[in-house]
Structure 1
Amino acid sequence: MAQEQTVQAENEQSKAELTAEMKSAIQERIVKQIASELQIAVSRVKTTVGLLDEGNTIPFIARYRKEMTGELDENQLRDIEERLTYLRNLEDRKLEVVRLIDEQGKLTDELRTAIEQSVKLQEVEDLYRPYRQKRKTRASVAKEKGLEPLAEWILAQPKQGELLSEAAGYISEEKGVQTAEEAVQGAMDIIAEQIADDAKIRAWVRRYTFEQGVLRTEAKDAQQESVYEMYYSYQEPVRKLPPHRILAVNRGEREEVLKVTLDVPVERIHEYIAKQIIQGPSVVQDTLQTVIEDAYKRLISSSIEREVRNEMTEKAEEKAIEVFAENLRNLLLQPPVKGKVVLGVDPAYRTGCKLAVVDDTGKLLEIAVTYPTPPNNKVAEAKVIFGRLIDKYGVELIVIGNGTASRETEQFVAELIGELKGRKLQYLIVSEAGASVYSASKLAQTEFPDLDVAERSAISIARRVQDPLAELVKIEPKAIGVGQYQHDVTQKRLDESLTFVVESVVNHVGVDVNTASPALLSYVSGVNSTLAKNIVKYRDENGKFESRKQLQKVPRLGAKAFEQCAGFLRIPDGANPLDNTPIHPESYEVVDKLFRELKLELSQLGTAELKEILGRLEPEELALKLDVGVPTLRDILDSLQRPGRDPREELPAPIFRTDVLQIEDLAPGMELKGTVRNVIDFGAFVDIGIKNDGLVHISQMSDSFVKHPMDVVSVGDVVTVWVLNVDVKKGRVGLTMKKPS
């Protein structure tokens, strides 16, 4: 901690010494580099950087500043933001390194230029390595003994002379050099460290190791059964290792099941280093060759292997996070099941199934518990309780969590539906991932202080079909369970990425400010957790918001926060119909001009007549008259044609069931419809109505080549599949999306 504080202090000192001219030059360099890397015009990057520096959020910029950015989308803006952060940190580090080397009196113009032109942090650290304060090493001990001149003599590679004779002059009882051989060894240690610290050599060896290295894994105990058995004797070129395999190997190594090594052809490395060091025949040529081999084996190989494996892991983590983020986005965008009274069931064995009935708005109506599963098997009693709740509240949908005892509960519910003929009753299995996390949270305790954890979980299970987004935002994103190796990646990076996804989805859908929970509001552009609580508190104390303008009365919701959040907050029954659209208040005047131009009234909003009139307009021509940008006008017209639209409703609804399918019922070739639950690097898991999801391997997704499963399917997609194989013992089902011929 003390070291970090020292580095930060050094960093701040370096930044403080910057002139305005230098800051401007650095900013310009960063903007140009981002533009080059992302293939985006310099002007657009510069504008985006300015908007971000002013405190604007990405959802706000993407939606309401299209003219300024040239209609860059959220992903492009996110890429700019990430590279901006990285490159600014890189520039700070460059300044710090230049200052630290300069303080040692060793900074040359050539070194300064090399540091300033570095485009990666690793390059800067390589250049700084020789000047970094080191712990005691063999080389530092040799320097203390005064052996640097001998090392320089060897590096000069004389054509004449004799090494041991030259070294004899360094024998010193006082300095602890007893023999000429000892002096030579010390000089060799100094040269070995210089070679190991050479930035050019390290960069080449790192690149060569990545391109030619082979990762090998073996079992520490070959007799031990584990999920890592495929890696008990395994090898694959580093450059070809897919992300999920890298993370699997890392986990196996961390759990001390696997021994992992990285092999690389050393002869070629020795040859390369020799070309950089040995200038030709000399009396010390063999000595230098020995030094080179020692430098690589003792000082370079292990650190480069560590760096290469870290780089592999970083890339694998990026991919895993990308997959998780895309799955999460699609899960959050699942269409809400509206207008149904739902009975949520949190299944269990010994403690019984907790039941929660919620009305069509998600309001809790009643809690109960039944014991239809082993060891209690009170099936008759459970049917009475279920029947009473169904009749009393007009339940149309039973939602069962997919955890413990889900299988038995599903069979019970299917049997019950069969007996309750004449009622419009269906059931649905949902992932209960994260329900227990929510149930034990402070938020759940505040929402339902008198209920126990399982009862809260049953409510969460019921609500997550009525409005998946509103319910799932209450749960830490990484606990939702649509990822791959999410526990093996850098948690800070994962949290940042998933938070971005949730914010993106929440702002894309929009939020009813009069019904939203603090958890949902906290993801709205410009609204933090404190502001979210203040909005709810104001609503509780003053009643429903009648207009967006009223938001400005909420404590601590200033002009900037209002600008950022207003367009994403909806007021369905407010005084101004525009408050229920994605149109920002700053554009209300444009709408007013438009309606006056067309001789229309706001009261016509939502009518077929207005939709037809607006659909015929040409935004390019009209934008000039209204003094507004074409992209903004296009969005305004779209919002006016579909006021109050929920973009999730355009996606396929979940599959409702009335009877149960068992793994024993399956046979190869059987055609089924299922819902994609999770997409990973090597395939997709599909819910086909049995306890465990079936796997469609990437090779079974299409007759043509598939680079990644996400190119074919997304979480929530309803797909047609055919049973490929069934393993009843292991509970595994292989599926294919290729229609059998």
Structure 2
Amino acid sequence: MTEAQIYQSIANELNLKSKQISTVADFLDDGATVPFLARYRQEATGGLDEEDIRSVRDKLDFHRTLEDRKKTILKTIEEQDELTDELEEKIKNCEDLNTLEDLYLPYKPKRRTKGDMAKEKGLEPLAELIWVQETEQGNPRDHAAKFVDEEQEVPTAEDAMEGALDIVAEWINESAEVREKLRSIFQEHAVIKTEKNPAVEKRTNFEDYYEFSLKAKYLKPYQILAINRGERENILFVDVELWEERTLENIDDIVITNDRSIFTPHLQDAVEDAYKRLLFPSLERELRNDLTERADQHAIETFATNLSNLLMQPPLDHKVVMGIDPAYRSGCKVAVVDETGKYLEGTTTYPTPPQNKVAEAEKVFDKLIDKYNVNLIAIGNGTASRETEQIVAEFIQKRKERHPDEELNYLIVNEAGASVYSASKTAAEEFPDLEAAQRGNISIARRVQDPLAELVKIDPKSIGVGLYQHDVNQNQLAQSLDDVVESCVNKVGVNLNTASAPLLTHISGLSRRVAKNIVKRREDEGIFSSRDEIKDIRGVGEFRFQQAAGFMRIPESKNPLDNTAIHPESYEATEKLCNLFKIDLDSLNSQENIVAEKLKNINKKEVAEQIDVGVPTLELIIENLQKPGRDPRASLPKPVLRNDIMKMEDLSEGQVVEGTVRNVVDFGAFVDIGVKQDGLLHISNMADRKVEDPHEIVSVGDILKLKIVSLDLERGRIGLALKQ
């Protein structure tokens, strides 16, 4: 396919125009980023959003990979002098990798097979005689006897027939038509059956699969991933089952073209041999790989959705936070950070078992709260979290008696990845004088103030909102999660005068080296006062500036547009618009309502022409003039702050509670309701109708009113239902 044909094919797949595909392809090939195209090139792309552009990018990658593979295959077959016009046409028109590999199979270099050995013995003419099925008279044995040759190690007619059928079996295996038919049978009728390895005696997490059987097409992604892991850990034996007799009949229908041929019974034997020895093992592997790929894709999408929702949690501004990384024997690490996230002081306390030094810990808490005016305590949700929560809740109640007007609450924070961060190069660069153990609690405290700014420092796989994330295709996972982080960071934008190098690295167009150069320039020469100053940074040329500038915010700039998502290339148009409607740019922050009123009900098409921009750019300008410096996370509900604790024993069925969604998986959502154990909001309890995907109803970080529908104190299980 030519590039133009690829563009048209993708346009058909995605229901877009070929021109949109070619435009996106040109931009991406030139190095433009997805966030830049989605926000600042809507006129050119025809209004495509990030999801659309990423779909185009992925389809382009697939089609270009497919075309490269076609070229390699055509070259290989041509070098063998086997390329016919018909085969070349089939290969060039092929649109999926499986069919392409089927067409290539007969010409693919492979290890010496039984068929190859039979050919070396001169048995290919006999195989041809059987294959063409034109002989309707005589005895097959007489034909086979002509190929008896002691020197070639073919001592009998039976040996000759056996060797010829080995060749025929391989031809059947290499038939693209046979493989395509069999592939559709596998997809429609294959059954995945699992059973427990008898050698496993202890209880495992795979008990649901000890005697399990289901058609492959009905398997849920989480079932596929669980079966794969159980097999990998040698806990489960997995088989693929198919109705053999019916399947062989389907292959016979393709291979046997003349029932009157004297070789028909032998051909049926070859079909059975090809199926059992070659086709079934090959297509079984392919089916398992396809299932795994489907499950991987779903798991990656689930992880990406959860990660996006977690990263976009609203920041808790203006809080001095005490972060506590709970533990037992090694003690609870404590750190205080100011409203900007600057580390102030840290120590270790031992209020949990086995030391149980609660009184000493309370004295430390009192001292730090009084010294720094702490108004929020963030507790990591890992080991010893609930014991620490109990201690902190009781401590807050005691302080309230002495300081009734004090604002002091606590919050349970997802600490996943804090230990990874604490041992990372990034953490060592941030806190060279602290031990690794004292850095995780700083991360926990900062996650409350700005989840996005802190979590981008951690490998997304370690953030803990996934489903079997260590089992799925790691390259695809990394690409998807990088896309999510890039999307979230650029959606929010970054304050150029406070952002860390890891945060800046995710800004459109910036590399790790340039991000470090920006931070170093800030440290050496002070804060930035204009977006134009970015051009002076080593490594920032015109193109990089174009890609990055609109996503950077400078609240201290004299030009108020530098603190908006309006791109510098649109400043002139923005000033024209303000002049048209008598809007004072210098006092934007104090006249939001006035700006909104002045720009209400305007004829956007006419105004866009007057200021020489497209309508999408005009809409972006208007949105940012009305809400300059707006953080899109600000409108979301803030996390639930607590100052007291509930125990499992305090709960009862029918009770209504408030909780925060911690993770969303295929079968429901895990919700923190303020007791030791997260509750499960099962998918069946999410609505009065059947819910196919929990993400339709809830997201990570959502704050919900829930009803307790079941309690199992012994097993620590809480069943929840969404209160309508």
Q: TM-score range by the shorter chain?
A: over 0.9
Q: Is the 8 A contact 2:566 2:624 kept in 1?
A: yes
> Match of 2:308, SS?
helix
Structure 2 partner of 1:674:
659
Q: Is the 8 A contact 1:402 1:691 kept in 2?
A: no
- Which of 105, 111, 118 is the equivalent residue of 2:94? 118
How far apart, CA to CA, are the structure 2 residues paired with 1:492 and 1:150? Answer: 49
TM-score normalised over the length of structure 2: 0.97
Deviates more, 1:500-509 or 1:716-725: 716-725
Does residue 55 (structure 1) correspond to residue 38 (structure 2)? The answer is no
For 2:488, the aligned partner's letter is V
> Match of 1:215, SS?
strand
Q: Is the 8 A contact 2:581 2:599 kept in 1?
A: no
Q: Is the 8 A contact 2:705 2:723 kept in 1?
A: no
How far apart, CA to CA, are the structure 2 residues paired with 1:162 and 1:540? Answer: 94
Does residue 646 (structure 1) correspond to residue 631 (structure 2)? The answer is yes
How far residue 600 of structure 1 moved from its aligned partner, in angstroms, is 3.2
Deviation per CA, 1:127-160, whole angstroms, max 9, x where unpaired?
A: 0000001101100110111110010011122101
> Match of 1:649, SS?
coil
Equivalence map 1:330-369=2 (5 Å): 330-369=309-348
> Match of 2:711, SS?
strand
Does residue 454 (structure 1) correspond to residue 437 (structure 2)? The answer is yes
Structure 1 partner of 2:267:
288
How far residue 736 of structure 1 moved from its aligned partner, in angstroms, is 1.0
Q: Is the 8 A contact 1:700 1:738 kept in 2?
A: no
> Match of 1:155, SS?
helix
Q: Is the 8 A contact 2:386 2:676 kept in 1?
A: yes
Deviation per CA, 1:537-557, whole angstroms, max 9, x where unpaired?
A: 222222211111111111111
Does residue 432 (structure 1) correspond to residue 415 (structure 2)? The answer is yes
Deviation per CA, 1:230-274, whole angstroms, max 9, x where unpaired?
A: 100011111110101000000000000000001111222211211
How far apart, CA to CA, are the structure 2 residues paired with 1:288 and 1:595? Answer: 83
Structure 1 partner of 2:21:
45
How far apart, CA to CA, are the structure 1 residues paired with 2:618 and 2:516? Answer: 34
- Which of 175, 190, 208 is the equivalent residue of 2:185? 208
How far apart, CA to CA, are the structure 2 residues paired with 1:114 and 1:691? Answer: 62
Equivalence map 1:555-634=2 (5 Å): 555-608=538-591, 609-634=594-619
Does residue 94 (structure 1) correspond to residue 43 (structure 2)? The answer is no
How far residue 451 of structure 1 moved from its aligned partner, in angstroms, is 1.1
| Residues 66 and 167 of structure 1: CA distance in aligned 2, closer, same or farther (over 3 Å) | same
How far residue 678 of structure 1 moved from its aligned partner, in angstroms, is 0.6
Number of paired residues? Answer: 715
Equivalence map 1:298-697=2 (5 Å): 298-421=277-400, 422=404, 423-608=406-591, 609-697=594-682
Structure 2: stretches of 5+ with no match in the other structure: none
How far apart, CA to CA, are the structure 1 residues paired with 2:326 and 2:600? Answer: 50
Deviates more, 1:398-407 or 1:660-669: 660-669
Structure 1 partner of 2:152:
175
- Which of 44, 52, 60 is the equivalent residue of 1:76? 52
For 1:180, the aligned partner's letter is A
For 1:556, the aligned partner's letter is G
How far apart, CA to CA, are the structure 2 residues paired with 1:83 and 1:358? Answer: 45
Which runs of at least 4 in structure 1 moved beyond 4 Å after TM superposition? none
For 1:648, the aligned partner's letter is R
> Match of 1:47, SS?
helix
Structure 1: stretches of 5+ with no match in the other structure: 1-24
Deviates more, 1:470-479 or 1:568-577: 568-577
Deviates more, 1:280-289 or 1:617-626: 617-626
How far apart, CA to CA, are the structure 2 residues paired with 1:174 and 1:536? Answer: 80
How far residue 166 of structure 1 moved from its aligned partner, in angstroms, is 1.2
> Match of 1:603, SS?
helix
- Which of 203, 210, 218 is the equivalent residue of 2:195? 218
How far apart, CA to CA, are the structure 2 residues paired with 1:149 and 1:174? Answer: 18
> Match of 1:420, SS?
helix
For 1:364, the aligned partner's letter is Y
Q: Is the 8 A contact 1:232 1:258 kept in 2?
A: yes
Q: Is the 8 A contact 1:340 1:397 kept in 2?
A: yes
For 1:144, the aligned partner's letter is E
Does residue 199 (structure 1) correspond to residue 182 (structure 2)? The answer is no
How far apart, CA to CA, are the structure 2 residues paired with 1:177 and 1:273? Answer: 29
TM-score normalised over the length of structure 1: 0.95
Deviation per CA, 1:454-509, whole angstroms, max 9, x where unpaired?
A: 21001000000000000000000110000111011011110100000000000000
Q: Is the 8 A contact 2:320 2:336 kept in 1?
A: yes
For 1:408, the aligned partner's letter is E
Structure 2 partner of 1:728:
713
Does residue 276 (structure 1) correspond to residue 254 (structure 2)? The answer is yes
Identity %: 53
Q: Is the 8 A contact 2:379 2:385 kept in 1?
A: yes
Deviates more, 1:617-626 or 1:279-288: 617-626
For 2:248, the aligned partner's letter is H
Q: Is the 8 A contact 1:218 1:231 kept in 2?
A: yes
Q: Is the 8 A contact 1:47 1:68 kept in 2?
A: yes
> Match of 2:48, SS?
coil
Deviation per CA, 1:557-612, whole angstroms, max 9, x where unpaired?
A: 11111110000011111121111000000001101211222233321212333343
Deviation per CA, 1:7-61, whole angstroms, max 9, x where unpaired?
A: xxxxxxxxxxxxxxxxxx6101111111111111222122111211121110000
How far apart, CA to CA, are the structure 2 residues paired with 1:691 and 1:478? Answer: 25
For 1:660, the aligned partner's letter is I
- Which of 134, 137, 144 is the equivalent residue of 1:160? 137
Structure 1 partner of 2:166:
189
Deviation per CA, 1:396-440, whole angstroms, max 9, x where unpaired?
A: 100000111111110100000100011211000011000000000
How far apart, CA to CA, are the structure 2 residues paired with 1:35 and 1:355? Answer: 55
Q: Is the 8 A contact 1:325 1:498 kept in 2?
A: yes
How far apart, CA to CA, are the structure 1 residues paired with 2:201 and 2:5? Answer: 57
Q: Is the 8 A contact 2:378 2:444 kept in 1?
A: yes
How far apart, CA to CA, are the structure 2 residues paired with 1:48 and 1:42? Answer: 10
CA RMSD of aligned residues (A): 1.1
> Match of 2:2, SS?
helix
- Which of 682, 689, 692 is the equivalent residue of 1:707? 692
Q: Is the 8 A contact 1:435 1:457 kept in 2?
A: yes
How far apart, CA to CA, are the structure 1 residues paired with 2:602 and 2:563? Answer: 22
How far apart, CA to CA, are the structure 2 residues paired with 1:415 and 1:607? Answer: 44
> Match of 1:734, SS?
strand
How far apart, CA to CA, are the structure 1 residues paired with 2:362 and 2:325? Answer: 16
